[in-house]
Amino acid sequence: MTSNEKVAVITGGSRGIGRAITLKFAAAGYQLVLNARSALDAELVQAIEDLGVTYLFVQGDITAADTADRLVKETFERYGRLDVLVNNAGITRDKLVMAMSVEDFQAVVDVNLVGTFRVTQVAFKKMLRQRSGCIINLSSVIGQHGNMGQANYAASKAGVIGFTQSVAKEGAMRNVRCNAIAPGMIETEMTAVLKPSVKEAIMTQIPLQRFGQPEEVASAALFLAENDYLTGQVLTVDGGMTI
């Protein structure tokens, strides 16, 4: 099957890393189903159309019980199949543990981990019946090593890694693969708010001496989608930060 016959579902596909993944898969010829909490902007829509692929937009919060059902249902109504699921939607609520409320912790876990579970569970059932499919979950180097002020985020992203490996084992017998990407410091809205002094301090920990670009994470996602012998892996895209 060629790329232009394949369908990729991308959550959080309108901004940052998700936007780059959307455009990378569109450029590779995938038909797209995009999910985000807010409407797609005109610039992204035009870029997708210019690349000659079709898209479906399913608006909704992945923490809502019906969003995953609608997302997968409408994918099959439109395209009749689901080849790649990219679980990219995520949030942060950074605070030191002593200042973090249960609500701060729960909100991040609900989106980053439980939301990933919700969408995966519905898509996974369809992929098992198809006897094919690829799931790509966005984790983080923070989930591998922790970070001050991000206990909630670290816990959610570490959970994504364990979840990914379990799904990989369950899906393997029916040719359904599941991998994760652990980005390091990537230039997005999330890192744009950092003070220059903080960025400089972080840069000293990165052997390649720069922050990554969303497109570099997107390239990793496409690689995982198209390599049929990779499953249960965590691909770290961090400029060597975790060496």
- Of these residues, 30, 55, 79, 153, which one is catalytic? 153
Annotation-wise, does 28 bind a ligand?
no
Q: Between the CA atoms of 29, 34, 38 and 41, what dihedral angle is there, to the nearest 10 degrees?
A: 10
Helices 67-79 and 115-130 sit at what angle, rounded to 10 degrees? 30
Q: Is 199 annotated as a binding residue?
A: no
Does 14 show up as a binding residue in the annotation?
A: yes
Q: Is 186 annotated as a binding residue?
A: yes
Entry field: residues in the chain: 243
156 in a known ligand binding site: yes
Q: Is 229 annotated as a binding residue?
A: no
| b/e sequence 159-183, b meaning 16+ C-beta within 10 Å | bbbebbbebbeebeeeebbbbbbbb
Question: 155 labelled as ligand-binding?
Answer: yes
Assess contact for 208 and 242: CB atoms under 8 A: no
Encoded amino acid at 109, one letter: V
- Give buried/exposed letters for 89-113 (b at 16+ CB in 10 A, else e): bbbbbbeeeeebeeebbebbbbbbb
Report the distance separating Cα 146 and Cα 154, nearest Å: 5
Residues 6+ positions from 226 with CB-CB distance below 8 Å: 3, 28
Q: Is 99 annotated as a binding residue?
A: no
140 labelled binding-site residue: no
| 153 annotated active-site | yes
Distance CA 25, CA 221 (A): 9
In the annotated binding site for NADP(+), the residues are 12-15, 88, 153-157, 186
In the annotated binding site, the residues are 12-15, 88, 153-157, 186
Q: Which residues are catalytic?
A: 153
